[in-house]
Every structure is written in C-alpha cells, then in structure tokens.
A and B are shown apart, each in its own frame.
Chain A
Amino acid sequence: MSLLSVNNVGKAFRSYNPEWKRFANWFGLSVKSTEERWILRHISFEIHAGEAIGIIGQNGAGKSTLLKMIAGTLKPTEGQIQINGRIAAILELGMGFNPELTGRQNVFHAAGLMGFTSKQIQQAMPDIEAFAEIGEYFDEPVRIYSSGMGTRVGFAVATAFRPDIFIVDEALAVGDALFQAKCYERINLFKKQGTTLILVTHSMGDIVKHCNRVLYLREGQLKADGCPRDISNIYMDDLFSSHKKKLVNQSVVETANDVSDVMGGIEDNFNTRPGYRKEEHRWGDGGARILDFLVRAENQDYPTVIMSNSKTEFYFKVVFDKGCDDITAGILLKTHDGVFLYGTNSFLISEGKQVISVEEGDIITFKFVFKMSLNAGHYLMSFGISEGPQELLVPLERRYDSVLITIDRAQNFWGMVDFEAEFGLTESKINVQ
C-alpha cells in the first residue's frame, strides 16, 4: 500500500457574482460559479515510504496549492488524495506563534496545534529546547527574538515528532547556514528512519542533494516525474526559454557550429537567447551596442547547465556607431548575490599589447575563454565595451548581470572556487608505540 496516493486531483478557485450564489450551493442548489480558475488539473502520482520527493515548477505552477492539499489545508475540487500515515508540514515556520508568550509556551501551543496531547509535548520539550539551541531565550517572550531564533524554535517544534510524511516548503531558506545544515541533518535522520520527504524549493542543488525523485509541475499539470538530473534539465530548459521556444530547440542540439552561424545577422538578438536576464542593468555613454552573445561549453551552445571545470567560451557581438582608436572589451562574472568572482578585459589579458581600433559601422565579435572553476550554483555574467586609455576608460555600453550561468558538479566541496586540491600522505604512517 502506498503512503500517499494522489488520484486525478484538480483544484479550481471559484468566484461567484453575486456572492449569494455561493451560499445557495451550500444548501444543495447547484448554481454555476461565475468564474472558475483551475490551478491544478489531472495530477496523479503515488509516493511510497522512504522516498524523497522534490517538487519544482515556476512561480504559479501550482506547487503550493498541491502541497496545501496534501497537507490538508485545502480540499481538492476533484479527485482524491489518500494518506496512510501522519503528515507534518512546514509551510511556514513559526506559524501561530504569539509574540507575547515565551518560546516554551509557544512550543506548547504549536505542538498542540499539530494535535499532540500535553503529555506528549512535555516529554518532547527537553529535546525541542536542545535542538533550538537558543539558551535562556527559550523562556523569554518571542517578541524579543531575532528572526533566526523564531525560525529555530519553529523548526524544532515542527520536527519534534517524526512524521510519516514530512513536507517542507522553502521554509528552510531562512536561518543561518549552520542551523540549515542542522535542519537537513535531522531531515536525513528522518529519511533513514523511513519518513518520506516532500521538498519544494527553487534551489536545484537542494533537490539534487536531497531527493531521489522529482515532480515537475508546469501550468497546473504534472509535466514530468523522474530522477532529479533528468528533470532538472527539462526544468532549466523551460525556465530560460519561456519566451522563445524555437531557439531552445536549436540550442539543445549539440553542435560545434561556426560562431557566425549561431550569431549571424546584425539584429539585436541579445534578449532572445537562453539564459538572458531581463533584470540586467544596461548602461553606458553610447557609441557601441552589444547585440548578441553566445555561451559555449562542451560543444554545446547556450548550455542549460555547465559542468564545473569545463572550458567555457563566451562570445559577444558589438556594433560600433562611431569610430574609436582604442577600445577595450571586458567581462565580469559574479555570484548570484553580487560578489565579484572574476573580471578581466582585452587590455589586461594581452598585457596592453592588443590595441583595437574600429570604424563606424564595424561589427566585431569578442571571445573570452576560461575554465569554470566554480562550485555548483547560479552565476551572473556581464559584458562591457569601453573606449580610451586604461586610466580614463569611457564605458560605451555595459550589460551588467545580463546572462545567467548555471554550474553543476558531481562532487561537492565547500566554498565557491575550485582550487583542485590534491591529496596525499607525505610519509608512511608511523606508529610511535
């Protein structure tokens, strides 16, 4: 028997105008709703004990609605959800906490809300207090807590009793890294003891790390159900190509096309390319326009995921609206939260030997190649073109944070940069005894 079976489930939000039609429905009259919005439809899957499921999908795909229906706070409009076991859901940490009460009182309250008797709660209390690790604050009112402390207590109480199904909805994105690690440690312990995990997150890394099966929701439909690596590729493809599907099909094909074939023409194609971020910051004094770019790694153009340490080529095409004697092309790679990782330009790389001059109407494609010695994650690429001597560079055009790069790797390490450490024993093992 499966732990959770979702059978052809759909959820519609109905609105009535005027509202009394809704009330008429409760009394058994079947009055048609004025508007019916289907958030989810025809969702079917089964989950067995010990699985770890990730649910991904873009905003509005229906992930939260599905979770709420599994957790039991929303009722499906059609279909059935059958659950054989106890569910604990963290849809929001510290739900129902009263700021005037102490941590201990709130724990009591929250655990009561989960349906436990006071005796059970009292037994679990020392464990909860120990896990939250907030010391004497546990007996202070929650109102004076930092938000991190609230999170700690919230997680501690939510996981005080091992459930059969444990649902986590991006709640762990808060709190410091140390505590997050502790949370995952506890989740892993639950998994070992047979708890089924259902995790909703935007972080592909978390999914790959913690789940052995992924459900991909798109526009209210279950689009794919399978192992993380396959699904994450489908997801990434969809994510970065929602505005131009045709181009994706081109780019997925493994090619070693001539760059001019891919980036031909003189149209401004920059914002149609996979990985383009419309949140980019485009600025400069004018005189040149960056028209197009190409990312190429492992013979693939615009790869959705670049494997760590693979040699990656970045091209960008510039049209010059005026002639210049001395231009400099540059790139800058940042982390998703804005830390500069690496930036360089044509002047620096050539040690000042390369002087590029252009005339009005020239179109030039610049190329930078380097190894992506980075950890798995999302990174932002910026391109720029400037004019003049190095000490007085005038930016003609900059397209900051305009391309999203996703890197993945098989083996983890700590931090951001891969120094490719080697390891060995220098001497043979000595036993002093």
Chain B
Amino acid sequence: MLRGLWQYRHFVLSSIRNEMVSRFARSKLGGLWMIINPLSQVIIYALILSNVLAAKLPGIDNQYAYAIYLMAGLLAWTLFSEIVGRCLNLFIEQGNLMKKVSFPRITLPSIVVGSCLLNNIFLFVSMLGIFALLGHQFTVVMFWLIPVTFIVMLLAIGTGLILGVINVFLRDIGQVTPIILQMLFWFTPIVYPVTIIPEAYQHWLNLNPVYPLTNAYQQVLVYGNSPQWESLINITVITLLLLGLSLFLFRRASAEMADVL
C-alpha cells in the first residue's frame, strides 16, 4: 500500500495542487477565500461571545484574549473536522473513478489529507498575522504545534477512513456523522473556556479525544506554555490504534468497495 503511494507521489502532489487551482479558478479573490472563511467565523464568535465570556478567561490580560483563544481552538478543530468530513464521503464521490480506473486507492485519502493540511497551514499563517496585529507574543513553544498538528491529522485520518469505508456500505453513517461532529464541537472547550464547566463535570472531558489536542493548541498559542504531554501520550496511543484499525479496514474493504459503489 505504501509502495503504491510512493509510486504515485507525483500524482498525489499534482492532485493537491489541482484541487487548489480548481477551487478558486473562477473567483476574483482566489486563495484569499481560504482565509476569509474561517476568519469571518472567528469574528462572528468573537463579536457575539466575547462580551459574555471575556471576563472569565483567566491568566491573560490582552483585551483580545478571547479572540486568540477562539482561534487557537478553531485551528485544531478545523483540521480535524475537515479531514473527517471529507474522508466520510470520499469513496462515494470517487466511486466511478474507482470502478473505471485501476490505481492505488490509498492515494485518494492522501490527496484529501494533503489539501486539508495545506488549508490549515494557510489558516495558521494568517492567524499568526492577526496575532501580531493584536499584539500577542510569539514564543519558541510554538514548535510544539508541529507534533500536535501531526497527531490531530493522524487522529482525523483514522476516524475519517473508518467512517468513510463503512459509509460506502451503510450510508446512514454519512448522515449521522455531521451531527455527531457538531455535538463534539460544542462538547469541546473551543468557544468557551474549560473553567465555565463545573468542577464536578470536568472529568467527563477526558472521554473527548479532541479535547487534549485543542487544549494543547490553546496552551501553546494563548498562554505560551508547553502542552501537558502526559495527556498527549494517551491520545497518541489511541490515535495510533485507530489509524491501524482504519488501514486494516481500508485494506480489507477496498476490494469490496468497488462492488457496491
């Protein structure tokens, strides 16, 4: 599977580029939309929620603290949900291609992940620009984001591939997953700080696989702390297990997928 991917590396790279090109082919602002979209989301949340919540964000005295906090969490969440969301329908959308052309199927999720990652990097860079505008400090701690982003990506691939494969056979998955993603978003402290959850319920958050990751982003970007790596170890193990399971499923199912598509 990996050798096929290596042979097709040019194809994967050019497909990622093509995707970018075609997405903005006929819009005047082109690639800018990639940044405008998430930023407008941040602005909406910030405008509506900052007055309610700003006072409750402890440990930071920048008046834009809430906006920064929000962006940090959204950065992690966007990557996760975008990969999961696109892997979910990937095989169904590419069904005809899979039936008519013989090529390593693993290239399909690779293209998705590559382009999502690229989107995320653009988003990150533009956020850094805004941080600078808001007078936020950059620290060396930010290099922590590289491994953390990597874990987010792998977790998303694992989840997305499993759901995507099952969705080919059981289309209900495609309907229910966006709902669950939406719920997960609100059960993760992204638009609100963890402190507004009563102490008694906070341990429930440990069941949320995305929480340690968004939390790490927030620690790094907002507070300039290294993430609590103990909590990251757990999620890394879970991620690797999920990834292994997803690749196993993908391998087993890829012959049958073309049959039912």
A73/B258 in contact, CB under 8 A:
yes
CA distance A23 to B249 in the complex (A): 9
Chain B residue numbers with a CB within 8 Å of A118 are 10, 14
CA distance A131 to B142 in the complex (A): 53
A105/B18 in contact, CB under 8 A:
yes
Within 8 Å of chain A (Cβ to Cβ): is B238?
no
Stretch at the interface among B20-28, B62-70, B133-141, B183-191: B20-28
Within 8 Å of chain B (Cβ to Cβ): is A285?
no
Within 8 Å of chain B (Cβ to Cβ): is A61?
no
Question: Closest CB-CB distance, B34 to chain A, in whole Å?
Answer: 16
B interface residues (Cβ-Cβ under 8 A, vs A):
7-8, 10-11, 14-15, 18, 21-22, 25-26, 96-103, 166, 169-170, 248-249, 252-253, 255-256, 258-260
**Which listed residue (B15, B96, B253, B259) contacts A109, Cβ 8 A?**
B15
Stretch at the interface among A94-102, A287-295, A359-367: A94-102
Chain A residue numbers with a CB within 8 Å of B11 are 109, 112-113, 115
**Known A22-B256, A26-B253, A118-B10; contact A109-B18, beta-carbon cutoff 8 A:** yes
Interface pairs A-B: 4 shortest CB-CB: A112-B11, A72-B102, A100-B22, A26-B252
Question: Closest CB-CB distance, A317 to chain B, in whole Å?
Answer: 49
B22/A98 in contact, CB under 8 A:
yes
Question: Closest CB-CB distance, A225 to chain B, in whole Å?
Answer: 25
A interface, size bucket? 20 to 34
B259/A74 in contact, CB under 8 A:
yes
**Known A26-B249, A101-B21; contact A73-B99, beta-carbon cutoff 8 A:** yes
B8/A73 in contact, CB under 8 A:
no
Chain B residue numbers with a CB within 8 Å of A13 are 259-260
B18/A101 in contact, CB under 8 A:
yes
Within 8 Å of chain B (Cβ to Cβ): is A68?
yes
B8/A112 in contact, CB under 8 A:
yes
CA distance A72 to B99 in the complex (A): 9
Chain A residue numbers with a CB within 8 Å of B21 are 100-101, 105
Task: Find the A residue at minimum CB distance from B98.
Answer: A73
A95/B97 in contact, CB under 8 A:
yes
Question: Closest CB-CB distance, A94 to chain B, in whole Å?
Answer: 10
Offer 7 A-B interface pairs, CB within 8 angstroms, sorted by A.
A14-B259, A95-B96, A96-B101, A105-B18, A113-B11, A117-B10, A141-B25
